């Protein structure tokens, strides 16, 4: 059972790294499932957040427009749960789960948390992004299974983890 994590402090860098990993693995024919995040329309720290369900879509908008002056969380919790359901229907035969982020909802016991736990318990390796706000909650969740994966080693880690899980 392996749970690798990526932490990059630059805004959006973890999303880009995981999306690049997913694209490479898909192009190589790897059997993966999960979701990667793409942000667009960023202005004043307000981005439209979309999750692409792996390996072949759909793309789901998980943010809601609260207006230019809003300062609250823009995550659409219902859309996130829809993404979790979409990923769960694509797990059959997957040899790696990629999850864009262990975020606030996962820290609170929702979002992808249970899916990650179930998949990891079945022996499928997981690679997940974390952020500084929910870092401790992730470590509390993953315990000694948490394994930091440097961006330069993501592909090699994924290939080794998938080979070990066979």
Token digits for 81? Answer: 């749960």
**SS3 (DSSP) at 29:** coil
**SS3 (DSSP) at 23:** helix
pLDDT 10s digit of each residue in the chain, 166 long?
899 999 999 988 999 999 999 999 999 999 999 999 877 555 555 677 888 999 998 987 766 665 555 554 566 777 778 899 999 999 999 999 999 999 998 999 999 999 999 999 999 999 999 999 999 999 999 999 999 999 999 999 999 999 998 6
Distance of alpha carbon 101 from alpha carbon 64, whole angstroms: 18
**SS3 (DSSP) at 5:** strand
**Domains (ranges, CATH) in the chain?**
3-164 (3.40.50.300)
Distance of alpha carbon 31 from alpha carbon 146, whole angstroms: 22
């Amino acid at each position: 059972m392996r749970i690798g994590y990526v932490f990059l402090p630059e805004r959006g860098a973890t999303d880009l790294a995981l999306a690049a990993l997913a694209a490479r693995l898909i192009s190589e024919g790897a059997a993966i499932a999960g979701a990667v995040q793409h942000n667009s329309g960023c202005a004043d720290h307000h981005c439209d957040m979309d999750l692409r369900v792996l390996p072949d879509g759909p793309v789901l908008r998980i943010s809601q427009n609260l207006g230019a002056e809003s300062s609250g969380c823009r995550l659409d919790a219902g859309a996130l749960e829809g993404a979790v359901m979409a990923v769960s229907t694509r797990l059959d035969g997957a040899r790696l789960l990629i999850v864009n982020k262990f975020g606030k909802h996962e820290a609170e016991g929702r979002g992808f948390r249970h899916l990650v736990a179930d998949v990891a318990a079945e022996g499928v390796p997981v690679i997940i992004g974390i952020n500084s706000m929910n870092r401790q909650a992730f470590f509390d969740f993953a315990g000694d299974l948490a394994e930091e994966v440097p961006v330069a080693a993501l592909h090699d880690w994924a290939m080794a983890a998938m080979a070990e899980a066979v």
